[in-house]
Structure 1
């Protein structure tokens, strides 16, 4: 099913009248997908296949990777090294750029050079069938621009297309679970040996993540107050505790590993503004927060997870624990969680 959207001329006129509006906000105002904005502006269509994109992008050196959803934006500087392709899911794994890529949602791709007050801003951007962004990459001062231009030429699909046929955006999946299966869920949860098994066991029980959290109960989950997610970020900014912070959408998950240092709120946004990592979180979108424990072979994996009012996952934070780490940060992270405000029945 295709959706109705404004003409390229209407899009260009709107962007001229609203030059400082964020692309996602402009697309929402126009009731279209963000990809339509790039097409209308004459951006270069490129091959969105990660198998073609990632090796070419690696040659460009240090860039900024951006993955977002409706409520959080995750930005990380680094090099696209160590790409591993796969038929359904692919990965980029290194100390800086850490991605999980779900390739069926990489439907549209564009390269754009946009003139700004700071000079040309070069980017390659990828979108799902509805035109919503799944991943973006921006050139930095350190980027090899010759290699960047070579990459764009290699990926180019030729003629520019002003108008796209976009599918209707799929709604977020609301919490799904049957309380009658709570005991079966708890038994399967207890027998987990890896956090990656969780989605498989919930799928088998015809539940989803949020639905499972709502019926699992202690000791597996603990409901926290909605503002606890922001409290956790502020507390982490005052500590040396290192975390793994996940922000994702249907097409990509992006992970930061390390501390959070510079915390700066601005309006409804809470921001982490560190040299190679930025996070922008709409705190007013956070409707549910859960502290979660999942058993693994190496001990308990502990997380804080935030959801919006529609049940969509905004972000996850885990205490950092890797086999190569000298320090296991899960203990400190668990102590931090104990100090966060819990959700009481009268608050629900």
Structure 2
């Protein structure tokens, strides 16, 4: 009897109720390798820079972005896309609002499951960056046109990167620490924070540990649920950033329906915001309050990290270009620090 194929082994796990993400680990393959084995999958190569601008023609799509802890699903139009060799943006406040890190985008797949159709994007190791699902039947001819235009008989090649060495803390001298804190206080844009970190050779988490007094505080992970529930109860706008190595997806809007299901924190706001959010907060290794100068005043935010020190979730009370944070957001943050601070 021949050995079962990868797809057949996956189907056996699926019958047992194993989700695709968990099946990948049990099968010992990447998600990209598994999806490539599906009989109705078409490989469209790796020219993401040319392909991504084509997505606007699909009309409204559902964009799914996830990491080890969080999943963000936002329905909108893939418009206002600007790409460079390293970066990309699709700035659509309240809509499909994206920041792309293009060096990680390596593989495109057209995936069909019954009547459902989607485009999947993976990095060189086969980790999912973004999945773009069709939501309108009128988009099917566009999907078929793109499949015909980009389909290739070449087989996708996935490369497993070497295991990253554990991060080693950098001990700053007293002078270096003082200089770092001055750089922090002198920030004019929160996006420049990564530049400051690189100047001192430290990662983001250690940067919070070295923050000026009162500008960063470790929190209990339960603070995330409290924030979502309070934003819903108080009718507050919340910005939810979910990212992986290749993309940041940003939701800006009010919070409406917060619940728990199978241990996950869920926000089911499709009817009001075309947005759904799922968080396995047990996977959050560290949660921090952060206060930094921005282009329009002080910015208060929440940052969550996984057990590999990767940033997986950020929460803000206003867009970066807004005039100022609301007093309601600052009051909520003060409550969070008092009730959940460590």
TM-score (norm 1): 0.88
C-alpha deviations, 1:154-186, integer Å up to 9, x for none? 2222x264x744323754964744343332221
Question: More helix per residue: 1 or 2?
Answer: 2
Take 2:89 and 2:319, find their aligned partners in 1: how far apart are those partners? Answer: 19
Q: Does 1:81 align with 2:79?
A: yes
Among residues 12, 15, 26, which one is paired with 2:10 in the alignment?
A: 15
- Judging changes above 3 Å, is the alpha-carbon distance between structure 1 residues 78 and 173 closer, same or farther for their aligned structure 2 residues? farther
**1:9 and 1:40 in contact (8 A); partners too:** no
**1:227 and 1:286 in contact (8 A); partners too:** no
Q: Does 1:24 align with 2:21?
A: yes
Take 1:223 and 1:30, find their aligned partners in 2: how far apart are those partners? Answer: 37
Among residues 325, 332, 336, which one is paired with 1:336 in the alignment?
A: 332
Q: What's the offset of the Cα at 1:321?
A: 3.5
| Residue in 1 that maps onto 2:98 | 99
Listed as ranges, the matches of 1:146-185 within 5 Å are 146-157=141-152, 159=153, 161=155, 164-168=157-161, 170-171=163-164, 174=167, 176-180=169-173, 181-185=176-180
Take 1:155 and 1:292, find their aligned partners in 2: how far apart are those partners? Answer: 44
- Judging changes above 3 Å, is the alpha-carbon distance between structure 1 residues 223 and 324 closer, same or farther for their aligned structure 2 residues? closer
Take 1:228 and 1:305, find their aligned partners in 2: how far apart are those partners? Answer: 11
| Residue in 2 that maps onto 1:196 | 191
- Judging changes above 3 Å, is the alpha-carbon distance between structure 1 residues 288 and 265 closer, same or farther for their aligned structure 2 residues? same
- Supply the RMSD in Å over aligned alpha carbons: 2.2
Q: Which runs of 5+ in 1 are unaligned?
A: 1-6
Q: What's the offset of the Cα at 1:230?
A: 2.0
TM-score (norm 2): 0.89
Listed as ranges, the matches of 1:38-57 within 5 Å are 38-42=35-39, 43-57=41-55
C-alpha deviations, 1:9-51, integer Å up to 9, x for none? 4421222112243322111111211000111113111133332
| Residue in 1 that maps onto 2:64 | 66
Q: What's the offset of the Cα at 1:297?
A: 2.8
* 3-state SS in 2 of match to 1:100: strand
Listed as ranges, the matches of 1:243-282 within 5 Å are 243-275=238-270, 276-282=274-280
- Judging changes above 3 Å, is the alpha-carbon distance between structure 1 residues 132 and 339 closer, same or farther for their aligned structure 2 residues? same
